[in-house]
Every structure is written in C-alpha cells, then in structure tokens.
Structure 1
Amino acid sequence: MSNSPASHPGASEETVDQAPEVVAEGVDEEIVEANRRLFHGWQWYLLAAVAIGYSCFHLITLNVLPMETWSFRIVHIAGALVLGYAVYSGSRFAASESEQAPPWLTWASYALLLPVGYVLVQLWRFQSLIDGGALRIEPHLETLHFGYPLIAATAAAIVLSWFHRQTRSRLVPADLVLMLSALAVAGYLLIIYNGTPARMSTGTPMAPIGLTWSAIAGSLLILELTRRVAGMALVVISVVFLLYVFAGPLLPGFLGYPGLSMHRFFSQLYTDIGLLGPTTAVSSTYIILFIIFAAFLQASKVGDYFVNFAFAAAGRARGGPAKVSIFASGLMGMINGTSAGNVVSTGSLTIPLMKKVGYPGRSAGAIEAAASTGGQIMPPIMGAGAFIMAEITGIPYTEIAVAALIPAILYFASVYFMVDFEAAKKGMRGMRKDEIPKFSRLVRQVYLFAPILILIGALFMGYSVIRAGTLATAAAAVVSWISPNKMGPTAILRALQLAGTMSIQIIAVCACAGIIVGVISLTGVGARFSSLLLGLAGVSQLLALFFAMCISILLGMGMPTTAAYAVAASVVAPGLINIGIQPLVAHFFVFYFAVVSAITPPVALASYAAAGISGDNAMATSVASFKVGLAAFIVPFMFFYSPAMLMEGSWPQILRVGVTATLGIVLLAAAVQAWFFGPVKAWMRLVMLVGALCMIYGGIYTDIAGLAIGGALLMLQRSTHGGGAKPIASS
C-alpha cells in the first residue's frame, strides 16, 4: 500500500527534499470478499464477458435504445442474480479436497437441473401459446408445470448451497441451478407482462397464478443473494416484514390490518409497487450508471491520486494522518457508495499511519469510520441514497445536492476539529516533509478532478442525471489518456467488468429493500405509523422527531445505507410530513440517521470494518466513532428548527445560519474533547455545550447567545493558555 519513508522509522532527515511521488498505492484495487470466487481460464473469460455485457446493456438502454420500463427492471434484477450466484458462494470455501462436498451432495445438486430445465422448456411452450393468440395460460399448467418445479428446485438449491463446499475457483452445481431459476423467473414475467393484459389484473383473483409462483421464487433468490453479499441483518428484517403480511391480522392495536391472501400479495410484489418500484428504479438507472463511472475512475487510478492529494494537503498538520483520513474519505466517498467499503479502501492506509503518530488503535479506527460515513452525505454524488430521495420525493437531484452542502460541511468540520483537539491534547505531530508527496507535483495532475467537475457542471447546466453521468464516464476515459494510467481498450473492458461485479451488492440490496417497500405499501403499515407519529406530535414535536430518529437508526443497523434509507423513507418520512415537516427536511432527517447507523452501536458496519484494520475492540471502536460523529446526531434536528441549513430561505439567513452553526460545531468538538486552547474544566465543558447548541439551533437570539458564550470562553482560554498549553501525555 505504501512505499513512503513512513514505513521506515529510521528514515534520515537528509531525505527531506526527496519527497516521494506516491504515498498511496492500491486504493483503487478491487476488494475481494471472503466468499467471492476467483475463477481462472475459460470460466474467468466467460464471467468477464457476462459482466461486460451487463454493464453495456445498461449504458446502451439508458442512452441509445430505451426499453419498456418493467421489462428493463426485470432484466436488471435477473442479470444481477445470475452474476451474483456465479461470483458469491453460499458457504465457506474448502481449504483442501478432503473438505469438499461429498459426492451425493454434488449429484443431488445436479439432479435439480432436471426440474429447472423442465421449467425453461415450459416457458418456450407458454411463449408459443401466447404467440398463438392465447390471452392467458391455464392455471393448472402454470402451477403443475411451472410453479411447483420452480419453487422446489429454487428452495432445494438454496439449502444445498449452504453445505456444498468447493475450492474458490469452482462453481457449485447448486448455484448453477439458482442462476437458471433467476432466468426462469425473468422469462415468465417478460412473457406474461409483454404478451398478455396480466399487469392490469395484479392483486385480483384474475391475476395469473404464475405471477405468485414467480414472485415467491424471485423473493427467495433475492433474499439468499442479499445474505451472501450484505449479511443477515437486511434478510431478517425482510422476512419479518413478509411474515407481517400474513400475521398482521392477528396483531392488536395499530399494527393490525384486514389481511392479504398469498395470491393477492405475491401477484403484486413483482410490480412497481414492490420489487420493480422506486428502489429498483434507482438501482437500474442512477446507481448502475455511477457504479460504471466509479469503475472508470478506479481503472484510471483516480483513487490513488485523491488519497495522495489529501496527504499533500493535510499530512503535515498536527495529527496529520487523521486529517488525511477526513479529506481522503470525503473524496473517495464521491466514488464509493458504501461506508464500510470506504473504510476498507482508505483505512488500510490511514489507520496504520494514525497509530504511528500516536493515535490509539481505537481512536484511529473511530476517526476513519466517522470520516468514511461522511462520504455518504458528501455532494455531489452522496452515495446512492440521494438518488432514491430524488426518485421518491420528485425533488430534482441538483436541489438535493445543494441542500446537502451545509450539513456536509458541518459534519466534516465536526470530525476535523474532534481530530485537531485530540491531536493538540496528546501532543501529536504531523507527518514529516519526507513522508508525504510534494504538493507541487500533484498539482500538475489536478486535471484528474475533471470528470467530477464535468459531472457537477453538466448537472447544473440542466442535463439529466443519466446524461451527466455518461458524459463524466466518457471524460474519465479521455482524461486518463494524458495521465500515467492511460485507459486503452483492455482497460475500458476491465472497467466495464469491474462495474458489473461491483453492482451486484447494491442491486441485491435495493431489490431486497423493494420487498420491504412492497409490504409497507400493500399492508398500509406506513400510514398507521404516520398516525402514531401524528399522535406523538400532539404531545411534543421534539418527541416525535426523537422517536423517528430511533426508528430510522434501528431500521438501518447492519444494513447498507441505500436499503436503510429506502426503508426509513417508506416508514418514517411520510409520518414526519404528516406532522407538518417539509418533504425535503423530512427525507434529509431520515437520510442522515440511515447514514449514521453505520457508526451507531451496537451494530455499526463502518466501525466494525475499521476495528478489523486497527486491531481494536469492535464495540469500543463503534462507541468512539459515535463520539467523533456526534454532530450528525444533532444537526438533523436543526433541519426542522432551521430549514436554512438546507438552503431554504434568503441568502443572508442561509449565510448566518451556516457561519454560526460551524462555530457551534467547533465549540461542540471542544466540549467533547475537553480541550480548546488548553484543558477545559467540567463546568466550562457544560457551558461550551450550551453555547454550541445555541449556535447550531439557528435562531437569531440563540445565535447571539451562543456567540456571547463562545466569545467569553475564547477570551478566558486565551488569557489562561495564551502561550499554548502543555499537551496531556497520551495514555
């Protein structure tokens, strides 16, 4: 990862003028998960061709040859399922031949090819009937010759895949069955939706029974792939929601509802109410496009440049590597859509360097986790959640990006000053000149920022998000031609392959979230939750907001940001809107808490990833990262009390709120770290906290009070520690 003298403690000061051109290397390398297969030979080429074709399909469909919406989304999900089951194993890999699956398990898996093959033959028969003028397929044909064998093969293959271990370079036959099942589900839906009036009958007794069987099989496939790529948290929540569909009528109070039959529910699940709804709409357009954009940036080594640029800009400040982590994670957050992924890509470099200059492993991991989480709220890309927000609310994406500007500044300012005050408190040094790249050399490659600038410029010139993303992707390839990492045809194909593989996780997560959204829409539980929030607001709006915060964080624990926000936006945001909160404010409120669930104990994915690198306790790291990112738990409440934070209001008001809130964030960091210009006593910390909250609140009178408190504390600290306080020895 690093070839800098930082790796060699005995580096001589005589090398000061010989600054290395590269500190960070490998930031753009593809992350290989523990359950990911590594193929060789013809299998590698075949999978690469499928991944490249999948990426090209989206680029062509989105820009040149539009496809009917439902059909496009069906193919989008099916392609991700096929790639996902080829790439990710359902069980751990065998370390040796003796650990491989017994022969009977292999033959049992191969036997499942018979029913799924039979189903595919029946699809050809169904297509012939439709082409012959039939308006529907006989229910007994759909049940006996399609539904039963499809469900049996899918369920059995999933179970066998949990026990069927093979070496890392081999595809187990059970996963081949699941790939064919995904094609069968997509094939039936395409035949019925495009050849018959079936989509008009979904949710009624007239709906083809095959829709129910397809939706059940599709749901099983999506849940199993989500388990493989994102863990059990989202799967468990999805299963709870599915059980609610049938158990809801038995529940008391506001959770009860009249009930839905299996046929009525599942015949609507694979429609735009559920799986083909807003989450898949976003993953099949904006998300896949920006994944391709990120893959092109990675192929041209822009990530390495971003991290090196951060080293040159902030490395020599006190606690330098920690501040590098903040800048690098903010920049990488624009091209990396997950908090945990951001931690892995930048933290493997910054966490060891933070420990080298004096940060305990716990603090180093916490800082990286908090900074990487902030990448999800960093304009202009803001991870995938912002695109879902635009899709759900109908608010233009550019308005959402602008509204996110002040909150993002406040968050990163908070993390920066938390880091700075801790560095001052413990007397930490920055990196030496010989440990960082020369800024003058990096400035010569500043053109590598051009794709990001073109993306921003195109969006604000009025281009659609799809067109702007496509232009930025093309710009990434063109700009690479004048950089040391030129993208020729091979590199472009490699970027398209990387994009196809990178997209699997986020598409599976969005599809799984679509199941939850479908349950919420069809059972009306979201409306009942809204009425509960409305009742709480009658007692106290602050209580209603606090309850909404808890639910948003609870829904987001252990889930990727995209799914966490999609679910919270369906459950919590409508309730906030019903109590009188503007849609933009309500959605930003739940979006923020969905994001910071990644650093909220007890289930904090970003913190756990950082702890794995730092070697410290995972739970202790999550508590420390919660403290570093504390501003993110306060600022969303201010959206309600001061909408100017989201650029809602006059420019003088927005400027005043932005400046005073930033000063309040500085006081908040000082209060948490017990250090300003020197040590801060307990009573002063309490006063600082009050002053900070007054300025973050955003009211004119509270701003004046907060400024007065801050000014008095500043003068008191300057008079006491004017010459600079002696650092407290690091424990």
Structure 2
Amino acid sequence: MNNNQMNKQQYAASDEATELDAEGHDRTLSPWMMVALGVFSAAYALFHLAVLNFWSIDEWVYRVLHVNLGAVIAFVGLKAWRGEHRSRVPLPDWLLVMAAIGCSGYIIVHLDQLIMRTGVITTAGDFICGALGTLVVLEFARRVSGLVLPIIALVFVSYIFVGPWLPGMLRHSGFQADNFFSFLYSQEAIFGMTVAASSRYIILFVAFAVFLQASGAGQYFMRLAMALFGGTRGGPGKVSVFSGLLFGTVSGSAVANVVASGTFTIPMMRRVGYPRESAGAIEAASSSGGQLAPPVMGAGAFIMAEITGIPYSEIILAAALPCLLFYIAIFLTVDRQALRLGLQGIPRAELPKFSELVRDMFMLLPLVVLLYLLMSGYSIIAAGTWGLASTLLVMLCRELNLPSTLLALPLALFVLLPLTGIQVNFAGAIATLLSAGLIIILAVFQGRVGELPNAFRAIASLTYSGMGDSARKSLQLISVMACAGIVVGVLGLTGLGGRFSSLLLTAAGNSEELAFLLAMIISIVLGMGMPTTAAYAIAAAVVAPALQQLGVSALAAHMFVFYCAVISAITPPVAIAAFAGAAIAGGKPWPTSIRAMRFGLAAFILPFMFYTSPEILLMGSWVETAHVFGTALIAIYFIAVAGEGQLNGKASAIERVLAALAALLLLWSSLYTDVAGLVLAAALILWSRRREGLSLQAAD
C-alpha cells in the first residue's frame, strides 16, 4: 500500500469518527453566503466577548440572543439531515431563522411585562413565542447533537400533558398549554441555570481552545508527550494517555479529542504492535477522561458551579486528584498490557529532542496565564479573556520568527501587574499591549520591518477565522444546554425530580452502597449518546438530589454524577468515543468499547471514593488527603494487574482475583481495610517474585 492510499484511508477513518460527534454537517453555500455566514459567526463570538467584559445588557435578553443567534448559524450553515445535497438554504430553514429572530425580538420588546407575568398570566403572543421558541431549541439541538436529547426533551414535554392520567408518583394535576410554554421559554427552564453557564463561559473557553491550537500549543503537547514517553515500553500507548490529558485541559468533547489526537497516536500504536481494538480503546479512554481534567472539565466545571453555588476554583481543585488517579490508572494498564504483549517503544532518534522542547516551553504562555489568574482568585471571565489575548502574542512571535523565550516578558507582566493593585482587566490590557509593542520594537531592531505587514495580516486572518470557528464549535454545547433546560424545567415544574429521588432511595432500602450503584447506572444510561455536558445537567437534576438526601455533600454528589456522565462515552451500547476510536483504528466497535471500559475501569470505581473517602476531593486535612491518595495509588496499580494479568510475569486467575480484592480494600480507605489491603498486596508481590525466581531457576 502506497502513502497516498494510506493517507486516504486515514482521512476516511477520521471522517467516520468525526460523524460520531454529531456536530452537524456543513452546507456548501454560494461564495457570498459563505462570507456572510463567516462574518455573522465572527460577530456572534465577538458579541459574547463584549457582553462578558464591558457591555452590560439584561441577563434574559443576553441568554435569548446567545441561544437564538447560535440557532440562526446552525439553520443557515448546517444541513437539516445528512443526505441533503442542497447548496442553498431551503425555505423551512429560513422559516426557522425567522422564528428564532422573531422570538428574540418579542422578548426584547416585551421584557418588562414578561418579567411580571411569565408562567402566571399568559397572552396569545407569549404562547406563540414560547411554542415557536421551544421548537427552535429542539431543532437546533437535533441538528448539531443528534436525536437522543431532543427525544428525551419531547418525552418530558409530553409528560406535562399526559401526567394527569398517569398512575402513582408520575401523576400531576396538569398545566395549561399556554402557561406551560410561557414558563418553558423563560429563565426558569430553557434560559435557566444550564444556559446561564453556557452563555457566560462556553464561547470564551471554546475560543481559548481554538486560538491555543492555532498558536501551536496542540503540536507542542504532542511533541512533549512523544519526548517523555514515546521511547518507553509500549510508548505510543502512553503518548496517547498523556496527550489525552493535555488536550483535555481545554477541550469539551470526547470525540473531538479522539479525532484530534487519535489520527496521530493510533497509527503509531499500530506500528509498534498494538491490536486495532486496543489502540482505539486506549485513545477513547484517555480522550474521554480529558473531560475530567481541570480547568475546563468539558465545560462541566462551569455548569457544576452554576447549579451548586460552589466556587469554580474549589471545584477544579477538588477534581485534580481524582483526574490524576484516573490517568495514572490508564497509564499503568497500558504499561501492563505492553509488558504482556512484549511491545517496544519508538526509537529515540525519531523522537523530539528535549532541548527543543525546553526552548519552546513559553508557547504555553496562554495556558499558564489562564491557570495563574484562575488560581489567584480572579474571575473566570477575566482569566479566560486574558488567556485568549495572550494567544495573540504567541502568534505574533511566531509570525515574526522570533524565539519563544521572548514570551517570558509577557508572562512576567501578566503575573506581576495584578499584584500592584491594578484592576485585573486594566492589568491584562497593559500587559498585552506593552508586550505586543516590545515584540514589534525588537523585530524592528532585528531588521524585520518588512515582515510586519505580513505578520499583522496573518494575525488578523487568524483572529477572524478563529472567531468564526469558535462560534461554530460552540453550537453543540449551546444547543444541548438549552435543550437540557427543557428537561430541568419540567422536573422543577412538576416536582418529578424530588419524587424520583424518593423512588431511588426507596429502591435502595437502607443500603447506601446500592443507592450509589443505582445512581451510577441511571446516570450512565441517561448519558448514552449525549454530549457530557447535557448528560451531566440532566443527571444533576434527577440523580444528584437523591444522593444529597443520603447526607452526601453537594460537591461529592455532583462530582459522582459528572464522572458517570463522562464514562458513558465509553460504555456500550452507545459508546460514542470508543466507536470513534474504532473507526480510526479500523477495529470492531463493540470489542473496542469493551476494552475501553477495561482501560478506563478506574473511572467506574473512583466515583465511589467520593462517598467512602471524600478526602480525595480535598474535603479533609492534608494528612488525610495524602493518606487516601497514597493508598489509592497502590490500589490502581493492582487494578491494572487484575485487568492485564501481569505481576512480575503472568499472573494466575487466583492472583488476579486477589489483586482486585486488594485494590477494593485499599480504595475503601478505612484503617482496617487499608491494613488488610496492604498485607494482601505485599503478600502478592512477594509470592509473585518467589514464583518468578523459581521459574528462572527451572529454566536454567
């Protein structure tokens, strides 16, 4: 097979994997329509940045424009169905565009009156606006995220009308259609807490991710992973794990992570001998876990902060240790499998040099600025805005062919200026403008004046296209948050959420462990085939309250259901991330998803620690947290041993069972279980070493 054929196969596999992300199918419109759509998309992103930073408008109006203008982009730019071959926008889509704009205008014009009467006194206009607006949201979500969530939302809408005839706990007294749709199209439902989170943070952090990639950080992540782990045993698999963590710090989609890094890592894994299903599974597990990685957590951190009222900084700190354990668990499992299969790494001569990576480390300036401002207590919006601005400095440096070490200057300014007491937005503006000026002056002194016009044009072009891409890549998250608002609104209006919590507790009886197991199953089922953010939003409304009634803290309960929502991406029968990995690797989807579950096994176990050992979420003293983390590290090693059957050589079936038992005892984290687990673990290691020694003697 020649290189052209291999490249074509890789592109086809990547396209097949991308299809699973259900982010819509772009239309091929006339040139003037494509230009108009691009300008509108860039303006849409800039509108958000303006409102978030200096243009104050009513919150309800902002959320309505956030959803409906995004819907306009989707109805014009995306096909209504996959097989559509039209190169123009059909009449039904223009009618949807008019409905989205009309509903926005109605809310803006009648805002004061609506605030007073929504859900109580409903006019004909209110009813028409609510019904049309709900239809717009449902079609918006269907077009960019698939059928699953809109169908679930329609089931809940139907429940409003059939509820009076249902038996038992499902019965409610009924609601008038006009009042219901007026309520649904308000800040109590569609434009409630889920859209509040998406309108404040989604565009900002998607833009940050887009510009970070454009600045070259994505390539740097991959080179760093290759240099660190490419040459080790089964190196490409470990590269996949580490790059999944790095990409996940700013990405919001498991399938997007698989496509972004898997097209590079999966062929490398195949080259050194990984089976197709294992290669796809490793990439799927690591890419899904990227949504557990702070600071973005697949946008889940923002939604969790909105729902629970827990500070965002507290959430991302609490998420750090469980995320680290998850990735160490995958890493160890990959290592054990490489040992079992006898896989080697990539020759060191083919790997990036550490000296080059150290020299280019300042390319990570935007990520450092973002994390520094977040951890220093500044607002999420300020941190995201100036992290985004700093990507332009990286691009300017690159376009002028200046060494990246020059970016140490803006790094110092972003760190030091806020410490002087200057308001953070002024400090960010000063740091950005001063750094840009100094970079330009240095280019002039080096005789690169002629390169400045081209550099400015390149950055202007990248900024324009980056804003448009940010709007396009945000559509899925925006639509699913609006559609999830329908479900959350119905749950609140009918009281079904509270009754479901009571049912879950009744089914579990007096067993808290059974309650958590049922909560995990329900959360995973709810999340199948849906983006993580929507799955979490619904599970947070349905399942988390039941866990809180057991006395579990809000942080632990919501982190539990969030983990379950994330692992639904690798759980059969609708394991979208695993199926994407299988498409790229050329493997079978179901075996790939089963293996992805095995690599990501820790993600099915760690959430129970949030109940048994809340110290892992930093809910305790540092000594307690260190103790829990230390025993968990030993436990996940034995999970890898149990899964891959490798402990100083091939482990027997009994040894694998005992390794799993030792892991479970250590994860429970009480004095007695820790002692028992450590004793069993030590006995296993000593026995395996003795067995291996006897085997070597017999061989001699």
Question: Is the pair's TM-score, using the shorter chain for normalization, greater than 0.5?
Answer: yes
- Which of 134, 152, 156 is 1:241 aligned to? 156
Query: Does 2:474 match 1:474?
Result: no
Q: State the distance in 2 between where 1:268 and 1:309 align.
A: 51
Query: Match for residue 73 of structure 1?
Result: 63
Kept after mapping to 2: 8 A contact 1:678/1:724: no
Q: Residues of 1 paired with 2:164 and 2:592: CA distance?
A: 42
The offset of 1:476, in angstroms, is 1.4
Deviation at 1:723, TM superposition (A): 10
Residues 662 and 696, structure 1, Cα contact 8 Å, conserved in 2: no
CA distance in 2 between partners of 1:724 and 1:455 (Å): 54
Is 2:346 the counterpart of 1:431?
Answer: yes
Letter in structure 2 aligned against 1:287: I
- 2:115 equivalent to 1:199: yes
- What is the number of equivalent residue pairs in this alignment? 628
Aligned to 1:332: 247
1:535 is displaced (CA, Å) by: 2.5
- Indicate which of 179, 183, 198 corresponds to 1:264: 179
Q: CA deviation at 1:171?
A: 2.7
Deviation at residue 32 of structure 1 after TM alignment: 11
The residue aligned with 2:35 is 45
Residue number among 575, 590, 613 corresponding to 2:561 in the alignment: 590
Once residues 389 and 685 of structure 1 are traced to their aligned partners in structure 2, the CA distance between those partners, rounded to angstroms, is: 37
Map Cα deviations across residues 660-699 of structure 1 (whole Å, 9 max, x no partner). Answer: 1011000011001111221000111111111001111121
8 Å contact kept, 1:445–1:483: no
User: Counterparts of 1:268 and 1:58 in 2: how far apart (Å)?
Assistant: 25
Equivalence for 1:187: 105
Query: Aligned partners of 1:277 and 1:326: how far apart in 2?
Result: 36
| Residues 1:80 and 1:466: Cα distance change in structure 2 (over 3 Å) | same
- 1:614 is displaced (CA, Å) by 1.3
2:85 to 134, 158, 166: 166
Partner Cα separation in structure 2 for residue 676 and residue 215 of structure 1: 62
8 Å CA contact 1:287–1:384 kept in 2: the answer is yes
1:252 is matched with 167
1:55 match: 45
Quote the Cα distance in structure 2 between the aligned partners of 1:482 and 1:709: 56
Given the superposition, is the C-alpha separation of residues 75 and 294 from structure 1 closer, same or farther in structure 2, using an over 3 Å criterion?
same
- SS of residue in 1 equivalent to 2:398: coil
Greater relative CO, 1 or 2 (CA 8 Å, sep 6+): 2
2:256 is matched with 341
Corresponding residue of 2:690:
719
For the structure 1 residues 719 and 38, does the alpha-carbon distance in structure 2 shift closer, same or farther, using more than 3 Å as the test?
A: farther
For residue 623 of structure 1, what is the amino acid of its counterpart? I
Aligned-partner Cα distance in 2 for 1:279–1:544: 26
**Residues 723 and 200 of structure 1: CA distance in aligned 2, closer, same or farther (over 3 Å):** farther
CA distance in 1, matches of 2:152, 2:592: 25
Shift of 1:722: 5.5
Report the counterpart of residue 112 of structure 1 in structure 2. none
Q: Is the 8 A contact 1:533 1:576 kept in 2?
A: no
Contact between 2:22 and 2:144, CA under 8 Å: does it hold in 1? no
- Comparing 278-287 with 297-306, which one deviates more in the overlay? 297-306
1:513: Cα distance to partner? 0.8
Q: Does 2:386 match 1:464?
A: no
Q: Paired residue for 1:551? A: 522
| Displacement of 1:304 | 1.6
The answer for the alignment partner of 1:698 in structure 2 is 669
Q: Name the residue aligned to 2:652.
A: 681
Contact 1:85/1:178, CA 8 A, preserved across alignment: yes
Q: 1-side partners of 2:168 and 2:525: how far apart?
A: 21
**How far did residue 236 of structure 1 move?**
1.5
> What is the alpha-carbon distance in structure 2 between the residues aligned to residue 435 and residue 360 of structure 1?
22
Q: 1:525: Cα distance to partner?
A: 0.6
Give the distance between the partners of 1:272 and 1:725, measured in 2 at CA.
71
Cα pair 1:189 1:211 within 8 Å, conserved:
no
Deviations 1:81-103 (A, max 9, x none): 0011112101235xxxxxxxxxx
Q: Is the 8 A contact 1:677 1:724 kept in 2?
A: no
The gaps in structure 2 that reach 5 residues or longer are 8-13, 402-454
Q: Relative to structure 1, is the Cα distance of residues 438 and 722 closer, same or farther in structure 2, using a 3 angstrom cutoff?
A: farther
Q: Deviations over 1:452-480 (max 9, x none)?
A: 11111101211011111111111111122
Counterpart pick for 2:491 among 495, 517, 520: 520
Distance 1:291 1:190 in 2: 27
Alpha-carbon deviations, 1:383-413, whole Å to 9, x = none? Answer: 1111100000000111101101111011101
Contact 1:373 1:599 in 2 (8 A): yes
Is the 1:366–1:628 Cα contact (8 Å) retained in structure 2? Answer: yes
Q: List per-residue Cα deviations over 1:566-607 (Å, max 9, x = no partner).
A: 000011111111121111110001010011110111111111
Distance in 2, matches of 1:222 and 1:197, equals: 23
Amino acid at match of 1:181: A
Q: Percent identity?
A: 44
How far off is 1:358 after superposition? 0.9
1:352-386 CA-partner distances (Å, limit 9, x unpaired): 11111111111111111000011000112211111
Q: Secondary structure at the match of 1:544?
A: helix
Alpha-carbon distance in structure 1 between the residues aligned to 2:364 and 2:319: 20
Alpha carbons 1:322, 1:354 under 8 Å: kept: yes
- Offset at residue 658 of structure 1 (A): 0.4
Map of 1:114 onto structure 2: none
Q: How does 1:655-670 map onto structure 2 within 5 Å?
A: 655-670=626-641
Query: Is 1:635 aligned to residue 635 of structure 2?
Result: no
Alignment of 1:66-215 (within 5 A): 66-93=56-83, 165-167=84-86, 169-193=87-111, 196-204=112-120, 206-215=121-130
Which amino acid counterpart does residue 216 of structure 1 have in structure 2?
A
- Cα distance in 2 for residues equivalent to 1:479 and 1:454: 12
Alignment of 1:23-42 (within 5 A): 35-39=25-29, 41-42=31-32
Deviation at 1:700, TM superposition (A): 2.3
The alignment's C-alpha RMSD in Å is: 2.2
Alignment of 1:618 onto 2:533: no
Residue 198 (structure 1) shift: 2.5
Structure 2 residue aligned with 1:531: 502
Q: Distance in 2 between matches of 1:460 and 1:501?
A: 29
Is the Cα contact below 8 Å between 1:679 and 1:725 reproduced in 2? no
Match of 1:404, SS? helix
Q: What's the CA shift for 1:645?
A: 0.9
- The change in CA–CA distance for 1:298 and 1:714 in structure 2 (over 3 A counts) is same
Is 1:360 matched with 2:275?
yes
What is the alpha-carbon distance in structure 2 between the residues aligned to residue 189 and residue 64 of structure 1? Answer: 22
- Output the CA distance in 2 between the equivalents of 1:54 and 1:302: 25
- Aligned partners of 1:683, 1:567: CA distance in 2, in Å? 41
Preserved contact between residue 198 and residue 208 of structure 1 (Cα < 8 Å): no
Query: What is the alpha-carbon distance in structure 1 between the residues aligned to residue 393 and residue 41 of structure 2?
Result: 22
More helix by share: 2
Classify the secondary structure of the residue corresponding to 2:240: helix
CA distance in 2, matches of 1:233, 1:652: 45
Given the two structures, how large is their TM-score scaled by the length of structure 1?
A: 0.83
Match of residue 444, structure 1, among 359, 363, 373: 359
Contact between 2:395 and 2:459, CA under 8 Å: does it hold in 1?
no
- What is the aligned counterpart of 2:217 among 298, 302, 318? 302
Match of 2:432 in 1: none
Letter in 2 for 1:201: R
Note the residue ranges of structure 1 that are not aligned, 5 or more in a row: 8-24, 94-164, 727-731
Contact 2:197 2:303 in 1 (8 A): yes
Alignment CA distance shift 1:468-1:438 (3 Å): same
- SS of the residue 1:359 aligns to: coil
Equivalent pair of 2:134/2:185 in contact (CA under 8 Å): no
State the distance in 1 between where 2:117 and 2:82 align. Answer: 43
1:412-431 to 2 correspondence within 5 Å?
412-431=327-346
